[in-house]
Structure 1
Amino acid sequence: MAVQGHPAGDQPAEEVAVEGLQPFLHDTCTTLYAPSLVLSRPDGDIATGADGFFHGDRRALSALSVRVEGVPVAPIARTLRAADETAFRAVLRGVGEHTADPAVTLHRVRRVEPGALREELSISNAGLGHVRLTLVVRAATDLARMVDVKSGRSLPALTPQADADGLTWTDGGLTVALRSAPGTPAAEVRTAGSHAELRHHIELPPGETWQTTVECTVQDREPDQFPAVHRDAVPWQPVTLRSADRSLDHLVARSVGDLERLLLSDPQAPEDVFLAAGSPWFLTLFGRDSLWAARMLLPLGTELAAGTLRTLARRQGAAVDPRSEEQPGKILHEVRREELNLDERTSLPPVYYGTVDATPLWITLLRDAWRWGLDPEQVRELLPHAEAALEWLATYGDADGDGLLEYIDTTGRGLANQGWKDSGDSIRWRDGRLAEAPIALCEVQAYGYEAALAGAELLRAFGRPGADRWEEWADRLRRRFRESFWVEDETGRYPAVALDAKKQPVDSVTSGFGHLLGTGLLDQEESALLAARIAGPELDSGFGLRTLSTDSTGFNPLGYHIGSIWPHDTAIAVHGLVRAGFPQEAAALAEGLIAASEAFEGRLPELFAGHGSAIDPAPAPYPAACRPQAWSAASAVVLLQAALGLDADVPGGTLSLSPAAHSLRPLRLDGLRIAGHPLSVALDADGRARVTTSAPVRVVGADTGVDPEADSGNPA
C-alpha cells in the first residue's frame, strides 16, 4: 500500500511508497473509459502508488506531472465532469499579481479514450502585466502489469526514445508514445535517464490564454482481450431523475455515467456487451459481478443482460479441470490475459471458475430478463445453457448430495472462500474462529433455491421437460435450510452465515440476511425476524449494512468482509426487504446509503468503513476500495426500483408499481425500458403515480392512483 499525499516539491515518488503492500486508492482521482483508465493525485499528477495511465491491465505511464519552472503551483479545484473527463485548476503563485488576488492560473482537462490519454493545458493571465513562463510536462513509465501494481511491487522505469515530435517507450510488445497534439505548439524534448520532459517557453500578455494538448497513445501487439464499447453502443437510453432528494439525483446521474464507461464487449461477438467489475483491479469479465450488475440494471432494458448471459454462456464449463475448477455447466469467476499471482499461496489461471454463486445467478438473470421482456427467441437459444447450469447445481454444486450448495478450494492455490465475500477471513464464527471448508453459505442456498424455481418456470413456459424435478429440488433445499441453518441467541432466531465442514452452523450475524429476503426461501415469520435484525444498530450503520455484526469477535469496520459496508450488499437488502413486504425498513437503509454517497461525490466505492453515523458524520473510505465499481454504481438503480416497488412480468402482461418512498416525492424518472419500449414514472407529492409506456402491459399497483390510460399501455 502507498502512503498517501502528494510528494513535497520534486521529492521522488519512490520515497513515499511502501514496497510490497497493496496501494491505497481513497484519495485517487479516476478517469475511465474501459479498458483504459487514469489514476492520479487529486491535483492531476500521476505520481505514486497505483497512479498511472493504464490500458488493458498494463501501465503505459507511471509518472506524469505538469509544472511551471521556478513557480509554486497551488491546486484549488478538481471537477469530475464525466467518467472519462476530469478538470483540474491551479494557481501559479506570485506570477503576474498586482494585488493579493491570484492572477495567472493553470487549467488542465483530462480526457480518456480507449488506448489514448489527452491532457489539454491552458494558462490564463488575468493580471495587468506580461509574464514569461516555462511549462514542463514530465513523464516516465515502467510498463508494469496491473497485478504488480496491486501487489506494490516496484519495477525499474524504462529509458525513453526521444525525437523531434515527442517520446516513445517500448518493451517489444507494448509501445507508448507521448507528444504534443497536431496543431498545438510544439515542445522542446529533453531526456535524463528514465525521465523525460516536454518543455514549452511561454510569453503571455495580459488578458490572454495559452493552450496546448499533450497526447499519450498505446499500441499493443496483442488485441484487447475485451474491447471497448463505442459511445453509440451503450445498451440503454439516457436516464434522468428529478426527485425531492437531490443527493439521489446526483447518485443516479454519476452512477449511470460511470456504468457507461465500464462497458466492455465480447471479441467473439462484439455486439454483446457486459460490465467490467470495477476500476482499477477488476477491469475485466467477472461472473458474479457482471451478472449482479446486469440484474440490477434490468429496469434500463434487457440488452445488457442478454449480452452478459451470452458472453458467459460461451465460456460455460464443459469439462472437469481441477486446476481452473472448471466443471460442466459451471459459470466462470473471472477472465484474465495471463495467470494471476496474488501472493505466495494464491495463483489463479487465466480463466478461473472458482465461484459457487455465479451459476445460480446466471439462471436467475435469464428468468428475470425474460420477465422484463427479453425476446423469447433469445431466451430459447440460452435454455440449453440454463439446463446445463441446473445440472451443475445438483451434481457439482451439491458434491456431497446433502441437498445444499457448498464449495471447497481443492487446488490449494485458488480462493479459499468462493462466495461474494471471498477474502480468506470472511466466514467466521461469532467468537472469531474461521470456518473450515467445505462451506455452505446461507445466501448461496437462497440463490440456488431461486435459480431452481426460475429454471422450472422457464422450462415450463418454453415447453421443455424437467420443471417438476427442479421444483422438487428447490423444495428439498428449502427444507434442508430450515433444518440446518437456524440458530438462536438472546435476541431470537436467525440463520447462520454458513455450515462448516462438519455441517455445524457458523453462528455469526451478517449482512447475508438481506440476500435471503424476497427469494422465497423464507416464510413470512422468518422474513420478519431478519428484517428486524437488519434494522438493528449492530448491522445497520446509518450509512448502509455492515457485513458483520458489531457484537462479533473480530468485527473490524475496516475489514474487507468483516465489518465494512458494501453498497451493492445494502442495495440487495433494500430490494429484498421491499419484496418481502418491509418497505419502512428498506427506506431507512436506502436513505443511509444515499447519505453516504455524498461523501464520495456520488461515486459509491466498492466498499467503505463500517464505523457508522453514530460515530462519524460522514463515512470513512476503505483505503484500497475500487471506484467506480459496477455493482456499486448499479445499486443506484436498485434503490429506485425498490422505492417505486417496480416489478415486471411481460409474459404475464403486467407491470407492478407500489411506491413507498415518501421522502423522494415529487419524482420523475425517464429512461427506463420494458420489452424494448420506453417507460417513465412520475410521482406527485401525494404519491399518485403516472406511468407512460407503449409496452403491451397492464400497470397494476396498490393505492398508486395509476392513470387509466397508462394502465392500458398507452402514453399517459
Structure 2
Amino acid sequence: MTADHRVQLVRDATFAHLEADGGISGTRGTTPDGLFLRDARHLSRWQLTVDGTSPTTLVPAAAEADHTAACVLTPQGTRDQPPAYTVFRRQSVTAGTFTEHLRLVNNRPGPVTARIELTVDADFADLFELRADDRHYAKPDGRHETHTTDDGLLFDYRRADWHARTTLVCNPAPDAVDSPQDASRPTARALTWHLPLDGHGEAQLHLTAHAHPHGAPSHPPAAPPAPRRTPAPAPVDDLTRTCERGLADVDLLTIAATGVDGEDVYVPAAGIPWFLTLFGRDSLLTSYFLLPYRPGTAAATLSALAAAQGRRYDTFSGEQPGRIVHETRHGELAHFRQVPYGRYYGAVDATPLFLVLLHAHYETTGDGALAVRLEEHARQAVDWMFTDGGLDRHGYLVYRPDTGGLVNQNWKDSAGAICFADGTQAAGPVAVSEAQGYAYDALVRTARLAEELWKDEPYAHRLRTAAARLRTRFTSDFWMPDADFPALALDGDGRQVDALASDAGHLLWSGILDAERARRVGRRLLEPDFFSGWAIRTLAAGQPPYHPLSYHRGSAWPHDNAVIVLGLARHGLTDQVDTVTEGLVAAAAHHGYRLPEVIAGYDRFATATPVPYPHSCSPQAWAAAAPLALLTASRQVAVS
C-alpha cells in the first residue's frame, strides 16, 4: 500500500500514520506507519479482523480533522449475502495517546454476534532505524516484553538505563488474549471480543493506547496557548487561504521546548514524519516568516536555541562554543550516541540566522527586552562566526563534510548538492554563498543591537567594519563575470563552484550584493531554466547535475522561494514577486492550500498539477510559513 493511501494524524507532538482501513502494519522506508512520540514508534502493529477475515473497506480512512480520522468497514459479504453488520471506525491522537472507537451496527432484524480480533505490537523502533538508507544499529542488550493486564496490554522495552512503555486499555476488556498465528514478533498479541448485537442494535468498543517514552517529563507542560489569528486581508483569495492553512499547520507542528531560563516555550518543529523536533535553521526561518504576524514564535525559538547553544568542543556532535544547534533528538540511538543527533551542531548557517532573527524581532516589535536578555548568547554566536565558523581564518563561514553526520551543512544538506556545473561535489572547507549573506546580515544587525541596546559603540564599529570587508571580498571572490551570476560556493582551494543555483536568491534577502547585481540576479532567477511556472528550481535546468526529482539539484522548495521573494521585494522587483507568488499559490491550491516541503522541478506547462517530490514531508514548518513571507513581500512591493 502506498503512502497516498494512508492518513496522517497529528497533535501535541504526537503523530500516527494509518493505512486505508485504519490499520498499522509496521512498515519502514519513505512513510513508516505507526504511532510516534519523541522519535520512537510506540505502536508498530494495529490490525483488525472481523469474523476471522480482513474487513472490506467501504469508506477508506479520511481525516475529519488534523487529529481525527474515520473509516467504514464490514465483514466480507456478497450481493446475495450482504454483511451482517457494519463497523464505523473513528481514531484520534492527542498528547501521547492514540484512541480508537468502534461502533458496530447490526444490519439484520435478528441478533448476531460479532467476532472482533485486534493484533497489536510495539517495536519501539527509533526513527533513524526506519529510514530507507540501509543503516543498521546494534541493540544487543535490548529486551522486549509484553504483559497482559486486567483491561488490556503492557508493552515494555528496556536497554541499560533506557525504558519505554506502551499501555493499551480496552473497554470492554477482551474475552481472550493470545499470540497471533502469523506473529512475526514474539511480543505481538491478538485480542478477541465476541460482541452481541440485538436486531438492528449496536455495540461499542473503546481502545486507548498510551505512549510512555523514555525521558518524558512526569508533568508534561501545559498545552500551548491558542494562537491569535491575524485578520486576513480582504477579499479572501487563494493566497489568504494558503496563509490560513499554513498557520494551521504551524499550530500542528508546535512543540514544547525549554527556554534559556528553564521556562516552557512553544516552538515550531521542522516537519512530519522525520523531523517533529526543534531544528535550528528550520525553526529560525519559520519564525522569521511568521514574525510580522506572530512575533511570539520568534521569541520562543530564540530562547530555546539559546538554551541549547554550544558550550564545549565535541567532535562527535559538532558542538563548539557559541554555535547554534542544528537539531535535537530524544530517541534511543541519540541517547546511546549511536547517531550524533541528540544535540547536533552540523550547520554553518543556524548561528548567523539566530543573530538575524534576534535583531529582526527587535526591529519588528520595538521591544528590546529579548535582545538585552540574550546579549551574551548573541556575542558568543558572533565569536563563533569569527573563530570556529571561519571568518578570521578563511574570510568566510565554512564547513567540512561530517562523515558521521551531514556531508553538506547548509540548507541543501544532501550529498552532492553543493556541486560544480559538471556535477562534482565540492570538497571542503566549503564556503556556500548564502551563508556568507547570512553572516553579512548578522554582523550588520548585531552592530545595530550593540549600538542601540547594548550601548557598546566600539563593538558595533568592529562588526560594521567586518561586514563591509566581507561584502567587498564576497563580490570579488564569488561573482562569475561570464555567467553574470554568483557562484554557489568556494571549495577548499578557493575555486568557484560554478553550478547555477537558487542560493543566489538568498543574497538579495541578506543584502550582501549591491543593488544592480541583485536586480540582475533576481531577473535571472525568473528565466525558464530556473522558474518552472510553479516555483524557482534549486538548480537551473540544462546543467549536467540537474534532475527534477532530486532533493536539491532541480526540485523546488517553497521556503527557498519565500526567502528569494523577500529578496525580490527588497529590491523592488514587483513583477518577479507577483510571478513567483502566483506560481506557489497555484501549486498550493492543488494540495488543499497546503504547500509541501518540496515539489518536483517539472515545467508547469507539462503537467496539469505540480508533480510531488516522492519523499516530501507534509506538513513541514518552513513550507507552512512560506505563504506568510509571500504575503509580507506582496505588501512591501504594494507600498513601495
The TM-score bracket by the shorter chain reads 0.7 to 0.9
Distance (whole Å) between structure 2 residues aligned to residue 597 and residue 208 of structure 1: 45
Question: Please, what is the CA RMSD of the aligned residues?
Answer: 3.1
Q: CA 1:449–1:240 in 2, change beyond 3 Å: closer, same or farther?
A: same
Distance (whole Å) between structure 1 residues aligned to residue 487 and residue 192 of structure 2: 63
Deviation by residue 1:75-117 (Cα, 9 ceiling, x = unmatched): 534433433x1313234276697899x9965433222122211
Shift, 1:209, TM fit = 4.8
Partner of 1:713: none
CA contact (8 A) 1:606 1:628 kept: yes
Distance (whole Å) between structure 1 residues aligned to residue 350 and residue 550 of structure 2: 24
Whether 1:329 aligns to 2:322 is yes
CA contact (8 A) 2:110 2:200 kept: no
Distance (whole Å) between structure 1 residues aligned to residue 525 and residue 506 of structure 2: 11
Q: What are the ranges of 5 or more consecutive residues in structure 2 without an aligned counterpart?
A: 180-185
- Partner residue of 2:618 out of 627, 632, 648: 627
Query: What pairs with 1:97-246 in structure 2 (closer than 5 Å)?
Result: 105-124=86-105, 132-150=113-131, 151=133, 158=144, 160-172=146-158, 173-180=163-170, 184-192=171-179, 193-204=186-197, 208-224=201-217, 230-234=222-226, 236-239=227-230, 241=232
Residue 178 of structure 2 aligns to a residue in which SS?
A: strand
Query: What pairs with 1:589-668 in structure 2 (closer than 5 Å)?
Result: 589-645=580-636, 659=638
Partner of 2:8: 30
Whether 1:497 aligns to 2:478 is no
Shift, 1:446, TM fit = 1.0
Distance (whole Å) between structure 2 residues aligned to residue 616 and residue 433 of structure 1: 31
Whether 1:68 aligns to 2:50 is yes
CA contact (8 A) 1:357 1:444 kept: yes
Shift, 1:306, TM fit = 1.3
CA contact (8 A) 2:324 2:350 kept: yes
Residue 509 of structure 2 aligns to a residue in which SS?
A: coil
State the one-letter code of the partner of 1:55.
L
Q: CA 1:472–1:128 in 2, change beyond 3 Å: closer, same or farther?
A: farther
Partner of 1:82: 65
CA contact (8 A) 1:96 1:103 kept: no
State the one-letter code of the partner of 1:516.
L
* TM-score, normalised with respect to structure 1: 0.79
State the one-letter code of the partner of 1:187.
P
Q: Please say which of residues 347-356 and 511-520 is displaced more in the overlay.
A: 347-356
State the one-letter code of the partner of 2:355.
I
State the one-letter code of the partner of 1:175.
R
Q: CA 1:166–1:340 in 2, change beyond 3 Å: closer, same or farther?
A: closer
Distance (whole Å) between structure 2 residues aligned to residue 524 and residue 602 of structure 1: 34
Deviation by residue 1:205-229 (Cα, 9 ceiling, x = unmatched): 576554332100122453359x966
Residue 68 of structure 2 aligns to a residue in which SS?
A: strand
Shift, 1:609, TM fit = 1.9
Q: CA 1:585–1:129 in 2, change beyond 3 Å: closer, same or farther?
A: farther
Q: What are the ranges of 5 or more consecutive residues in structure 1 without an aligned counterpart?
A: 6-24, 646-657, 660-700, 703-716
CA contact (8 A) 1:228 1:263 kept: no
Distance (whole Å) between structure 1 residues aligned to residue 40 and residue 464 of structure 2: 47
Residue 571 of structure 1 aligns to a residue in which SS?
A: helix
Whether 1:443 aligns to 2:447 is no
Identity among equivalent pairs (%): 33
Query: What pairs with 1:280-291 in structure 2 (closer than 5 Å)?
Result: 280-291=273-284
Q: CA 1:215–1:416 in 2, change beyond 3 Å: closer, same or farther?
A: same
Residue 586 of structure 1 aligns to a residue in which SS?
A: helix
Residue 426 of structure 2 aligns to a residue in which SS?
A: coil
Distance (whole Å) between structure 2 residues aligned to residue 340 and residue 417 of structure 1: 22
Partner of 1:467: 460
How many aligned residue pairs are there?
Answer: 615
Whether 1:366 aligns to 2:361 is no
CA contact (8 A) 2:73 2:89 kept: no
Partner of 1:388: 380
Shift, 1:382, TM fit = 1.0
Deviation by residue 1:437-482 (Cα, 9 ceiling, x = unmatched): 1111111111011111110111111122311211111111111111
Q: Please say which of residues 133-142 and 186-195 is displaced more in the overlay.
A: 186-195
Shift, 1:581, TM fit = 0.9
Distance (whole Å) between structure 2 residues aligned to residue 124 and residue 584 of structure 1: 59
Q: CA 1:57–1:414 in 2, change beyond 3 Å: closer, same or farther?
A: closer
Residue 267 of structure 2 aligns to a residue in which SS?
A: strand
Q: CA 1:179–1:386 in 2, change beyond 3 Å: closer, same or farther?
A: same
Q: CA 1:93–1:171 in 2, change beyond 3 Å: closer, same or farther?
A: closer
Q: CA 1:400–1:454 in 2, change beyond 3 Å: closer, same or farther?
A: closer
Distance (whole Å) between structure 2 residues aligned to residue 616 and residue 129 of structure 1: 54
Whether 1:574 aligns to 2:574 is no
Distance (whole Å) between structure 2 residues aligned to residue 591 and residue 127 of structure 1: 55
State the one-letter code of the partner of 1:283.
L
- Partner residue of 2:74 out of 78, 81, 92: 92
Shift, 1:494, TM fit = 0.6
State the one-letter code of the partner of 2:592.
E
Residue 623 of structure 1 aligns to a residue in which SS?
A: coil
Q: Please say which of residues 152-161 and 542-551 is displaced more in the overlay.
A: 152-161
In the TM superposition, structure 1's runs of 4+ consecutive aligned residues that sit over 4 Å from their partners are 25-28, 93-100, 102-105, 124-132, 151-159, 203-209, 242-247, 338-341
Partner of 2:182: none
Q: Please say which of residues 474-483 and 189-198 is displaced more in the overlay.
A: 189-198
Distance (whole Å) between structure 1 residues aligned to residue 470 and residue 507 of structure 2: 13
State the one-letter code of the partner of 1:357.
D
- Partner residue of 2:41 out of 59, 75, 79: 59
Distance (whole Å) between structure 1 residues aligned to residue 584 and residue 76 of structure 2: 44
Q: CA 1:312–1:551 in 2, change beyond 3 Å: closer, same or farther?
A: same
Q: CA 1:384–1:484 in 2, change beyond 3 Å: closer, same or farther?
A: same
Q: CA 1:228–1:545 in 2, change beyond 3 Å: closer, same or farther?
A: farther
CA contact (8 A) 2:49 2:117 kept: yes
* TM-score, normalised with respect to structure 2: 0.88
Q: CA 1:375–1:67 in 2, change beyond 3 Å: closer, same or farther?
A: farther
Distance (whole Å) between structure 1 residues aligned to residue 116 and residue 611 of structure 2: 37
Partner of 1:297: 290
Partner of 1:306: 299
Deviation by residue 1:325-368 (Cα, 9 ceiling, x = unmatched): 22232112122246868xx9x95253222211011100010111
Q: CA 1:357–1:104 in 2, change beyond 3 Å: closer, same or farther?
A: same
Query: What pairs with 1:451-462 in structure 2 (closer than 5 Å)?
Result: 451-462=442-453
Shift, 1:28, TM fit = 4.3
Residue 63 of structure 2 aligns to a residue in which SS?
A: strand
CA contact (8 A) 1:60 1:218 kept: yes
CA contact (8 A) 1:229 1:273 kept: no
Residue 120 of structure 2 aligns to a residue in which SS?
A: strand
Residue 572 of structure 1 aligns to a residue in which SS?
A: helix
Shift, 1:559, TM fit = 1.1
Residue 272 of structure 1 aligns to a residue in which SS?
A: strand
CA contact (8 A) 1:452 1:470 kept: yes
Distance (whole Å) between structure 1 residues aligned to residue 368 and residue 341 of structure 2: 36
Distance (whole Å) between structure 2 residues aligned to residue 66 and residue 644 of structure 1: 52
Residue 177 of structure 1 aligns to a residue in which SS?
A: strand
State the one-letter code of the partner of 1:29.
V
Shift, 1:637, TM fit = 1.8
Shift, 1:164, TM fit = 3.5
Whether 1:426 aligns to 2:417 is yes
Distance (whole Å) between structure 1 residues aligned to residue 59 and residue 456 of structure 2: 64
Distance (whole Å) between structure 1 residues aligned to residue 602 and residue 550 of structure 2: 11
Distance (whole Å) between structure 2 residues aligned to residue 563 and residue 584 of structure 1: 23
Whether 1:583 aligns to 2:579 is no
Whether 1:536 aligns to 2:527 is yes
Shift, 1:374, TM fit = 5.9
